Amino acid sequence: MGMIGGGQGAFIGAVHRMAAGIDGHIELCCGALNSDPDRAKESGKLLSLPEDRIYTNYQEMIVSESKLPKEKRMDFVSIVTPNFAHFEPAIMALDHGFHVVLEKPMTLTLEQAQLIQKKVEETGLTLCVAYTYSAYPMVKQARYLVNENQLGAIRKVMVEYPQGWLSNMIETGLTLAAWRTDPSKSGKSGCMGDIGTHAAHLAEYISGLKISKICADLHTFVSGRRLEDDGNILLRFDNGATGVLSASQVAAGEENALKIRIYGEKAGLEWNQQDANTLIFKPLDAPMQIFRAGQAYLSPLAKHNIRLPAGHPEGYIEAFANIYQNFATSILAHRAGTAVSAEIMDFPTVSDGIRGMQFLETVIASGQSEQKWTDLPDQ
């Protein structure tokens, strides 16, 4: 693995490195870890990268790596830069024959995302988008229960992602808050691009439905902030189900309280990221059931994505690790010409990234319109 971004002081790059390393199949071999050349060098040294593979910009890294012998060069690149620095490195990496792991939201615009999709199709390479929450084992179990028709036809989806860390104007002193609230670096949305997109992905992933219409009420609470920091969205799904998606970065006191409830004709379910190893199943005519990660009774899909016996907590880093493991295994199998199981292929790809950008563009359009209800395209 090579990495773009994620050097000293960055948030998610370190999580990616820990996650990629957990199963012992992926090794960081090179990086262009910071936009500042000196900090990029310093960051590479801190990670003990070989001097000749610490690059001061991603262009140099992609070109130099592509000239190395096949067995030495990176197999794929992980792009963990702010949103505005996703598109160019992703296109360049694909052009030079490298698979890609790309952070969400995939790009600044839907148009850029579609160009990446076209490039993925042309090259036949794999591009994975880091929709982390869909990789938790109990989320996989929830998807399995819906697929097995244990809930019956889905009627309602309620998903919420409240955070409180942007309750004040902290962007002047904190880099990762500064770019997130700058339209030229984050994209047209703030809170929805940062966390609402995760909630939408989770709703579609577990329910197996597609959001077809959106009615969005977006708001900026912190005076002087340039992008929305709060929003509530009414949803309609392609089977007629209704839904509510609420996301906020000014919900004072909240941490990462992502929670989803899905209700069908026969039963409901509930999953909460802050108690990630528990899934509550609520049948209409029977007592509630609590599914726990690591137990033998879970579906093959959930079991495939867990490493420890029940009661030993796995969390956020392991969810990322599931994405890496499935992504890397699928590439190796493709290379060896061997078959890959459905469990392995169950990781977010370029189509999830496109879906995320369709969601965001529709949210913004609806948020700005007086008519409010706005159709979401089906890719």
Ligand X SMILES: NC(=O)c1ccc[n+]([C@@H]2O[C@H](COP(=O)([O-])OP(=O)(O)OC[C@H]3O[C@@H](n4cnc5c(N)ncnc54)[C@H](O)[C@@H]3O)[C@@H](O)[C@H]2O)c1
- Give start and end residues of each alpha helix (H) in 252-379: 300-304, 316-336, 342-345, 350-368
Answer yes or no: are the C-beta atoms of 182 and 268 closer than 8 Å: no
* CA–CA dist 240, 173 (Å, integer): 45
Report which secondary-structure segment, H or E, holds 42. helix 37-46
DSSP lists the bridge partners of residue 293 as none
Q: Which two tokens stand for residue 10?
A: 């960055």
Q: Which is nearer to ligand X, 193 or 264 (CB)?
A: 193
Distance in angstroms (rounded) separating the CA atoms of residues 209 and 52 = 48
Q: How far is the CB of 57 from ligand X (least distance, A)?
A: 6
Q: How far is the CB of 6 from ligand X (least distance, A)?
A: 6
Residue 82 interacts with ligand X (CB under 6 A): yes or no: yes
Is 130 one of the binding residues for ligand X (CB under 6 A)? yes
Instruction: Give the binding-site size for ligand X (rule: CB under 6 A).
Output: 25
Residue 29 near residue 98, CB atoms below 8 Å: no
Of 12 and 94, CB closest to ligand X: 12
SS3 call for 103: coil
CB-nearer residue toward ligand X: 17 or 225: 17
81 binds ligand X (CB under 6 A): yes
By CB under 6 A, residue 163 contacts ligand X = no
According to CB under 6 A, which one of 1, 12, 202, 247 is a site residue for ligand X?
12
- Pick from 17, 41, 99, 104 the residue near ligand X by CB under 6 A: 104
Would you say 78 or 329 has its CB closer to ligand X? 78
CA-based nearest residue to 57, from 4, 1, 12: 4
Stretch that binds ligand X, among 1-9, 210-218, 224-232, 276-284 (CB under 6 A): 1-9
Q: For residue 321, state whether it binds ligand X (rule: CB under 6 A).
A: no
**Could you say which of 112, 126, 132, 163 contacts ligand X (CB under 6 A)?**
132
> Nearer to ligand X by C-beta: 141 or 181?
181
Q: Is 260 in the site for ligand X (CB under 6 A)?
A: no
Selected binder of ligand X within 115, 176, 333, 340 (CB under 6 A): 176
Q: Residue 354 in contact with residue 378, Cβ under 8 Å? A: no
Cβ closer to ligand X: 106 or 233? 106
Nearer to ligand X, 237 or 320 (CB): 320
Residue entry with tokens 């061997």: 338
Residues in the chain: 379
Burial class (CB in 10 A: 0-12, 13-18, 19+), 232: middle
Query: Rounded distance, CA 120 to CA 114, Å?
Result: 10
Q: Residue type at 275?
A: D
Handedness of CA 15, 262, 141, 78 (dihedral sign): negative
Smaller CB distance to ligand X: residue 58 or 347?
58
What mask of x and - would describe binding to ligand X in positions 51 to 80, judged by CB under 6 A? Answer: -------x---------------------x
Distance CA 146, CA 167 (A): 36
Contact range with ligand X by CB under 6 A, out of 3-11, 283-291, 338-346, 357-365: 3-11
Minimal distance, residue 190 CB to ligand X, in Å: 11
Identify the residue among 103, 160, 314, 318 touching ligand X (CB under 6 A): 103
Q: Is 356 in the site for ligand X (CB under 6 A)?
A: no
The rounded distance, in Å, linking the Cα atoms of 277 and 238 is 30
- Determine if 187 is a binding residue for ligand X (CB under 6 A): no
CA angle 219, 210, 193 (to 5 degrees): 30
Pairing, β 242-248 against β 154-162: parallel
- Write the interaction track for ligand X spanning residues 17-56; mark x where CB under 6 A is met and - where it is not: ---------------x-xx---------------------
Interacting residues toward ligand X by CB under 6 A? 4-7, 10-13, 32, 34-35, 58, 80-83, 85, 103-104, 130, 132, 175-176, 179, 194
